[in-house]
Chains A and B, each alone.
Chain A
Amino acid sequence: GNSVTQMEGPVTLSEEAFLTINCTYTATGYPSLFWYVQYPGEGLQLLLKATKADDKGSNKGFEATYRKETTSFHLEKGSVQVSDSAVYFCALTLYSGAGSYQLTFGKGTKLSVIP
């Protein structure tokens, strides 16, 4: 089956520190890869995505590159802010065989950024 493994949190960083959240996947096909972010008390927002090998998704200073050879999609940001404190979910999507594409989520990584 399909699965996503991401580093367990919580991760606590000082403001302006470098962030890496590791994500690896197992899939029975050629998935698209996503990072979603969930701020406290809110729903999920798409942060970035990549649909094929070597694609780099980027948004709001966050980046992740689709590495097929290592089945990875690690999230990075050069300088985090307090406002980046949230839970980050790595996810993949593949055709479910039932007329839709299903998301498979990792367990989530909680990031806390302190001033």
Chain B
Amino acid sequence: DTEVTQTPKHLVMGMTNKKSLKCEQHMGHRAMYWYKQKAKKPPELMFVYSYEKLSINESVPSRFSPECPNSSLLNLHLHALQPEDSALYLCASSQDPRGGAGNEQFFGPGTRLTVL
């Protein structure tokens, strides 16, 4: 299984809602990532988990809250978002984080989020 899955595929939420995005991989990868991608732009890194521990938080507002319950799952909890947070949210994973620069990241299909 060389796939990263993400649910839901699409999400529409109001600014007062609480929702969660889910990401799953069964490749035994020990690094997992959340990216935000706006239209016609490259992905921007938000968070990195290495061995289920948060290792990088790229100054992301606290209305985004990541969680890594186990080595296969990564969640992104959303609360009190703003319309400018509307974007494609991509999850990725890669092998042992200590394994070297050659380890590619495998991306999921993304969740298209719209905040009204």
Chain A contact residues, CB within 8 Å of chain B? 30-32, 34, 36, 42-46, 49, 51, 89, 93-96, 98-103, 105-108, 110
Which range contains the number of B residues in contact with the other chain? 20 to 34
Residue numbers in B under 8 Å from A96 (CB-CB) = 48, 56
Contacts A98-B55, A101-B103: A107 and B42 contacting too (C-beta < 8 A)?
Answer: yes
Compute how far the CA of A50 lies from the CA of B40 in the bound complex, rounded to whole angstroms.
Answer: 25
Compute how far the CA of A96 lies from the CA of B31 in the bound complex, rounded to whole angstroms.
Answer: 13
**Is B50 within 8 A of A51, CB to CB?**
no
Q: List 10 A-B contacts (CB under 8 A).
A: A32-B100, A43-B107, A43-B110, A44-B90, A51-B100, A93-B101, A99-B48, A99-B55, A102-B56, A103-B105
Chain B contact residues, CB within 8 Å of chain A? 4, 6, 31, 40-43, 45, 48, 50-51, 53, 55-56, 90, 92, 94, 97-98, 100-110
Residue numbers in A under 8 Å from B105 (CB-CB) = 46, 93, 103
**Is B104 within 8 A of A49, CB to CB?**
yes
Contacts A43-B109, A43-B110: A51 and B41 contacting too (C-beta < 8 A)?
Answer: no
Compute how far the CA of A110 lies from the CA of B102 in the bound complex, rounded to whole angstroms.
Answer: 25
A23 CB, nearest partner CB in chain B, Å: 12
**Is A101 within 8 A of B109, CB to CB?**
no
Q: Which of these, A42, A106, A108, contacts B40 with CB under 8 Å? A: A108
**Is B42 within 8 A of A51, CB to CB?**
no
**Is A49 within 8 A of B45, CB to CB?**
no
Residue numbers in A under 8 Å from B43 (CB-CB) = 44, 103, 105
B30 CB, nearest partner CB in chain A, Å: 9
